[in-house]
A and B are shown apart, each in its own frame.
Chain A
Amino acid sequence: MARENNKKKEKITLKEIKKQSFLMIVTFCMVAYGIVFYYWPLTGWIMAFQNYKPKNGLLHSKFVGLDKFKFLFEDDVFIKVIRNTFAMGLINLVTTTIMAVLFAIILNEVRKGWLKKPIQTISYLPHFLSWIVVTGILHDSLSSSGIVNDILLRFGIIKQAINFFAFPKYFWPIVAFANCWKETGWNAIIYLAAITSIDPSLYEAASIDGADRLQKIRYITLPGIKPTFLILLLMNVGNVLNAGFEVQYLLGNGLVQSVSQTIDIYVLKWGISQNDYSLGTAAGLFKSAVSILLIVIANELAKRYSDERLF
């Protein structure tokens, strides 16, 4: 791309620059906007190393070095918060990916259009609901008089209704289920597109050789979607720590907070509710740093073991 640019640059004349003035003006506005709303907040990271007081501002607040980070890592709650964020992020990434691939493959096996289309439309539905709606519906379904307890009681699997939200051991599976319920159909769109682009003659040849459908999936479909799978995995690894706010915030309660609190909730609690901006920023900075590290590592691994990469 760089070489191509240089070639173009030789041809650029004053006339060309004049012609591009509209592009330049747009660029100027976009860069100004980006600096204000995306790059300027980065200067706020300084707060993590200060004892920030709003009345003193960034320039006159006292520097305290790594004190805030020391506080964080000596806080047992924060250690648990890191564990929760990582655990739920990973569980969600694995379960939603498996569900999306599984759903895409199975839906692709349906040959009848009149059956496939409606199922696909239904599968997108939960993606368009807000987390407020989804957690509300989930909460009602899992309540002691909800459908899940109803079925479990009816089939005699349990003797007494379970209050699913009162036990920490159920919380992570519930969050994983909520994510799968909401996004399986949506995430499958890309995999379905990848499956459609596989050369049909491969399947025909396999049929003639007597391969059954499972074998065709194993040897044609799965390898066919591998590049898509890797690219999406790469993109999502950096988001592992970002995936922990809305559901946990909305479904969490006092009884499960040892497993439900994530870094973002911690930031909200300390930074906004307690007005300790410095501590909140320090926790947020830690999250950003780990996220960037994860992306770089994933990118390196992908570069080493396959042809896929982000940058």
Chain B
Amino acid sequence: MDEKVYKVRKPISDKIFSVIVVVFLALFVIITLYPVLNTVVLSFNDGIDAVRGKIYLWPRKFSIKNYKTVFGMQNIWVGAKVTVGRTVLATITSLIANALLAFVVSRKKFLFKSQLSLFWVITMYVNGGMIPVFLLYKNLGLTGTFHVYWIPGMISAFNMLVMRTYMEGIPESLEESAQLDGAGYWTVFLHIISPLCKPVYATVALFIAVWQWNSWFDAMLYNRMKTEYTTLQYELMKLLSSVMQQSGSAENAKNGANTITPVTIRAAATVVTMLPIVMLYPFLQRYFVTGLTIGGVKE
């Protein structure tokens, strides 16, 4: 697409178009970044001062008291511990399970490969729904435990398909030559396929980790009464929802001004929950871009 080579004279419409491109992207970047930056700025501003509003891209009265308050909350620490625990555990177990499944369904010689594949693809479209699933977890004794965070969602057909597509692209001859040397399927999986699959493993691990880190609904639904299994997002939700419920009427907002969490403390809690992922994702960009491109388009 190197246009300079041809030295074609550019029409005036192209210049207008360039302006539109620049304006659109500038607006896009501002709208995407500003609310996030503003939250970070608010989190570093004095709480009482912030009530006056009009704080934009720099704190008016710098303070780290908000963070002291947030880190002083017992349940934030519990939530952080549970969130880190479930993210690490689920990422490892779920990655292994999905990789094994993808490996099996991508073996061209395997007897039940298409049946097993279909068995899992169906789960993408048909599911029992909230109530039957809730009752199942209850009957299995998963509700009210930490295990409800990592056991039920261990295998996802979507992640399996992403990996399968990638594994199917690996030449069969590699596997065959290993098998001639007497390697079984386990060895092939561990020493031939897995090392070649690192990019797609990274992609899927990121998908799982983000999903785990950002989950709040399972904490609310299955562990509402168990404060020892609360998660960071659920704690943040409790902080925020006290405010949101009141936005319905101005009357409430005025009366409740003293009881709701100050905006600066909410901002600090928000920054704490989003920071790890925001710091991490730029470095994993090339993985999820390729992962999404190979897996996403081909079903």
Chain A residues packing against B (C-beta within 8 Å): 1-2, 5, 8-9, 12, 16-17, 19-20, 22-24, 26-27, 30-31, 33-34, 36-45, 47, 54, 102-103, 106-107, 109-111, 119-126, 128-133, 135-141, 143-145, 147, 150, 163, 165-166, 181, 184-185, 189-190, 193-194, 200, 203-204, 207-208, 210, 212-214, 228, 231, 235, 238, 245-246, 250-251, 253-256, 264, 267-268, 271-272, 277, 280-281, 284-285, 287-288, 291-292, 295, 310
Contacts and interface: CB of A to CB of B under 8 A. Distances in A.
Nearest to B216: A132
The contact size tier of chain B is 35 or more
A207 B6 contact: yes
Interface string B50-65: 0001101000000000
A259 to B, nearest CB: 13
Name B's interface SS.
helix
Q: Quick one: which of A103, A128, A231, A280 has the most chain B CB within 10 A?
A: A128
Contact of A310 (B14, B116, B299): B299
B282 interface: yes
A47 B125 contact: no
Interface string B1-38: 10100101011011001100100110011011111101
A62 B277 CA distance: 49
Interface stretch (B69-77, B100-108, B163-171): B100-108
The 6 closest A-B pairs by CB, nearest first: A44-B132, A41-B128, A284-B129, A130-B214, A41-B132, A193-B293
A254 B248 contact: yes
Interface in B95-138: 97, 100-101, 103-104, 107-112, 114, 116, 119-120, 123, 125-136
Contacts, number: 279
Interface in B185-202: 185-186
A147 to B, nearest CB: 7
A190 B249 contact: no
A137 B127 contact: no
A281 B132 contact: yes
Nearest to B51: A145
B214 A268 contact: no
Contact of A126 (B32, B114, B210): B32
